[in-house]
Chain A
């Protein structure tokens, strides 16, 4: 059983650009959640996908969007990057349901720097 992987590890973008971050969930995990972790803070929930449909969203603007694919991979897209978007972005997959009582397995994250 492979773990959750994310790519790239690090990324540098400039303000106004667009970025796509990728996540590969554990095989068989139908639910993926994305989090933003700013320096010195805990992860903040961005949104969750279940069977390729958005299933919940935190307090993030529409320029944060996502996709989930049938092969257990997913993407986080951020448009019109702002300096405050600089953070570690984590994805987490869980095996079955959409409740957060289901154990989530986190990837190592992508560190995004916006200049």
Chain B
């Protein structure tokens, strides 16, 4: 059962422009959401997170938006840099259920 979905397998943007990566979830019990970035031959690295009590969290060039009514979150990267090229995973967890669900990932390519 795919409770976390990333419907775009890939995204290509020009350096300096905005990258928007989307994620949808179905389980209304999820109350904590994370984005991980993965380079080839490395494990995922934590990027940014958001609790369900917020609708926005910002960290430098990275901003995550959460729309609970739509069960949708997005990651904005502004401005995009070639070093941002990686696979981005969205993940969700529920505080009272010791489990974490990942989406299938979106491969971002930032062209110089």
Contact = CB atoms under 8 A, between A and B. Distances in A.
A90 B104 CA distance: 15
A4 B102 CA distance: 20
Contact of A43 (B6, B98, B102): B102
Contacts, number: 59
Nearest to B43: A106
Contacts of A44: 102
Nearest to B100: A100
A108 B40 CA distance: 9
Interface residues of B, number: 25
B104 A4 contact: no
Contacts of A56: 98-99
Interface in B87-110: 89, 91, 93, 95, 98-105
A99 interface: yes
A66 B58 CA distance: 37
Interface in B32-59: 32, 34, 36, 41-46, 49, 51
Interface string A72-114: 0000000000000000001010000011110111111100000
19 contacts: A33-B100, A41-B104, A42-B4, A42-B89, A42-B103, A42-B104, A43-B44, A44-B102, A56-B98, A90-B44, A99-B95, A100-B32, A100-B34, A104-B46, A105-B43, A106-B36, A108-B41, A108-B43, A109-B43
Interface of B: 4, 6, 32, 34, 36, 41-46, 49, 51, 89, 91, 93, 95, 98-105
